[in-house]
Amino acid sequence: MQEWKRLCRLGDIPPLGARRVQRAQGADVAVFRTAGDRVFALLDRCPHRGGPLSQGIVHGERVSCPLHQWSIGLADGAAAAPDEGSTPAFSVQLRGDEVWLDAAELASRATEALPASACGRRCTERA
């Protein structure tokens, strides 16, 4: 059975921005808000070099990574061609003006991914 965890109110997420959800293990999750007030959740790690997607700019239903501007789909975490790769997506619900996340996914999905600050790569270098 799915168990949902309340994260915040929609207004707590900046329009065209994101809110980070810290996890006890593994990388954070980024919850995004579009111009049309849709919400999506992705692992806060770009599939390129681990950049923090939560610091990117939302456009339509995509986010541009702040490091090298790869365009990542908010629904599926997939990079737009010609780039390749994807980052895990998480279930999210908007109930009225409250944002809810799947508690089991938060506890288990992609927990092997380290936070960007601990990835050991030079995430700020240009591609």
Sheet harboring 57-59: ordered strands across? 57-59, 62-64, 71-73
Q: Please, what is the minimum distance in Å from the beta carbon of residue 98 to ligand FES? A: 30
Task: Please report how close the Cβ of residue 40 comes to ligand FES at its closest, in angstroms.
Answer: 17
Asked if the bond preceding 66 is cis, omega within 30° of 0, the reply is no
Taking the least distance from each CB to ligand FES, the nearer of 67 and 99 is 67
Nearer to ligand FES, 5 or 68 (CB): 68
Contact 99, 10 (CB under 8 A): yes
Please count the other Cβ atoms lying within 10 Å of the Cβ belonging to residue 2.
9
Rounded least distance, CB 29 to ligand FES, Å: 16
Interacting residues with ligand FES (CB under 6 A): 46, 48-51, 65, 67-68, 70, 123, 127
| Residue bearing tokens 């980024």 | 30
Judged by CB, which is closer to ligand FES: 67, or 101?
Answer: 67
Measured torsion, CA atoms of residues 121, 63, 68, 110, in degrees rounded to the nearest 10: 20
**Shortest distance, CB of residue 92 to ligand FES, whole angstroms?**
21
